[in-house]
């Protein structure tokens, strides 16, 4: 969650505490990293500590309990090991005193750890630990990029009264669920389809319009773009390039870019004072691995039609056309070496092609992000798009987002 200096600290602290410490921080969507703008950071952290002191940690069968234990001794050990490691490394660690009853059981005090970089955290910590990173105004884009670099991309929140801050952060972050001026936990079925990308998921969102068709063989995409919607300009340029040179391939590409789903947005139902906007965004980088010329053109067309950038892995005869494309297309399509495959967000492969199957084995054997591999013969364009839901607390955002810059 990013909190800038324009937001009311009282509102932000309430949402931070709920997001980080409800369920003892053991939700997949729980808040792990808090980005706080330098101006006002001290006051906000002091208020946050005061709010944590007021929370009762103890047996969850008591009505006055605010936070119970973590699920097991092993879970407690993992979290405490992380806290001890951060303390030994010299990071500032803060915890409140706990009641005597917590001496028995797997209790951990709500913990704040101030860090210098997002990368200092390491792997995910599944418990009541909140890492705080102060940032200067000019670092806004950089701290968002640092979050993206972790590979985790489930939930993100922004607390701000400034339209520019909200626009910049929500467009730059890669999270699947984005929350504006409200907690980042508690997704509602039917309003906020839930799921991320990268290390936080590689398939359709739970409760979203694409999940049921993915469970059914041969099912068509239920989403339809508006009649006036167009495929991305790069896909149309690629089609224009192909039509005079390879009409059969052009016809196939015309089919796979005709959906115009990239950028599709839908307004979903929600509670009074809340809006939920569902959208389809490009996955990012798609590796197209094929041996034949027609298959490669088909794969590239599908990936461009969903707004992605392309890595091409193919033998020389299949990529002769690449030297003739416009500069616009050349900037989006890069040929790669099979011995040095870069990271990608998805793969399209030609079935039976040795170069493609070997590349898939190489990519999927790597640690970290799960990369989906799609057979070109059965892949559908919507599989190369990421679903994003932006949930906005309009009672705050509409009332105060009057400024356009900090």
CATH 3.40.605.10 holds for 228-262+281-386: yes
DSSP 259-281: T--TT-EEEEP--TTEEEEEEEE
HSE of 109, CA atoms in CB hemisphere, 13 A: 17
CB 337 within 8 A of CB 377: no
Query: What secondary structure letter does DSSP report for 229?
Result: -
CB atoms within 10 A of CB 36: 24
Identify the weakest region by mean pLDDT among 56-60, 145-149, 196-200. 196-200
Mind listing the pLDDT tens digit for each residue in 181-237?
999 999 998 899 999 988 898 789 999 999 999 899 888 899 999 988 999 999 999
DSSP 310-379: EEEE--GGGGGGGGGS-HHHHTTEEE--TTSPPP-SEEEE-TT-HHHHHHHHHHHTSSSSPPPEEETTT-
CB 110 within 8 A of CB 67: yes
Query: What secondary structure letter does DSSP report for 384?
Result: G
Mind listing the pLDDT tens digit for each residue in 104-123?
899 999 999 999 999 999 88
Indicate where the chain has its CATH 3.40.605.10 domain(s): 228-262+281-386
What pLDDT, on the 0 to 100 scale, is given for residue 399? 52
Indicate where the chain has its CATH 3.40.309.10 domain(s): 2-204+388-400
**Res. 80: pLDDT tops 80:** yes
Domain boundaries 2-204+388-400, corresponding CATH code:
3.40.309.10
For 76-101, what is the mean pLDDT? 95
The Cα 402–Cα 17 span in angstroms is 27
The Cα 356–Cα 337 span in angstroms is 12
Q: What is the mean pLDDT of the chain?
A: 93
β-strands 274-282, 265-268: how paired? antiparallel
For 71-97, what is the mean pLDDT? 97
Bridge partners (DSSP) of residue 267 are 277
Distances (CA, A) of 157 to 12, 50, 93: 11, 22, 23
CB 3 within 8 A of CB 44: yes
What pLDDT, on the 0 to 100 scale, is given for residue 122? 87
């Amino acid at each position: 969650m990013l909190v800038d200096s324009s937001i009311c600290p009282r509102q932000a602290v309430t949402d931070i505490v709920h997001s980080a410490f409800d369920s003892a921080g053991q939700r997949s969507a729980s808040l792990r990293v808090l980005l706080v703008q330098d101006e006002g950071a001290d006051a906000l952290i002091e208020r946050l500590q005061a709010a944590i002191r007021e929370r009762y940690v103890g047996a969850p069968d008591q009505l006055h309990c605010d936070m119970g234990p973590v699920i097991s001794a092993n879970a407690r050990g993992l979290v405490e090991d992380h806290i001890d490691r951060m303390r030994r490394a010299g990071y500032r660690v803060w915890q409140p005193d706990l009641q005597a009853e917590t001496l028995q059981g797997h209790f951990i005090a709500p913990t704040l750890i101030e860090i210098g970089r997002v990368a200092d955290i390491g792997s995910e910590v599944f418990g009541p630990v909140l890492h705080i990173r102060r940032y200067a105004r000019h670092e806004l884009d950089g701290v968002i990029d640092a979050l993206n670099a972790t590979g985790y991309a489930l939930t993100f929140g922004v607390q701000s009264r400034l339209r520019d801050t909200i626009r910049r952060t929500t467009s730059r972050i890669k999270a699947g669920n984005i929350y504006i001026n409200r907690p980042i936990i508690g997704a509602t079925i039917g309003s906020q389809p839930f799921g991320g990308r990268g290390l936080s998921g590689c398939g359709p969102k739970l409760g979203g319009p694409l999940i049921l068709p993915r469970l059914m063989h041969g099912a068509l995409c239920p989403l339809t773009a508006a009649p006036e919607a167009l495929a991305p300009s790069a896909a149309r340029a690629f089609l224009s390039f192909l039509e005079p040179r390879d009409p059969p391939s052009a016809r196939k590409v015309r089919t796979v870019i005709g959906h115009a789903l990239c950028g599709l947005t839908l307004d979903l139902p929600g509670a009074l004072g809340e809006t939920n906007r569902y959208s389809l965004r490009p996955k990012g980088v798609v590796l197209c691995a094929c041996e034949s010329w027609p298959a490669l053109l088909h794969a590239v067309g599908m990936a461009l039609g969903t707004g992605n950038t392309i890595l091409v892995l193919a033998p020389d005869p299949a990529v002769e056309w690449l030297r003739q494309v416009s500069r616009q297309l050349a900037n989006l399509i890069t040929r790669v070496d099979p011995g040095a495959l870069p990271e990608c967000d998805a793969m399209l492969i030609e079935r039976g092609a040795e170069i493609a199957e070997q590349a898939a084995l190489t990519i999927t054997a790597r640690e970290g992000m799960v990369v989906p591999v799609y057979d070109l013969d059965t892949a559908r364009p919507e599989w190369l798009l990421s679903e994003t839901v932006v949930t906005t607390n309009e009672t705050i955002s509409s009332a105060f987002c009057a400024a356009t810059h900090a």
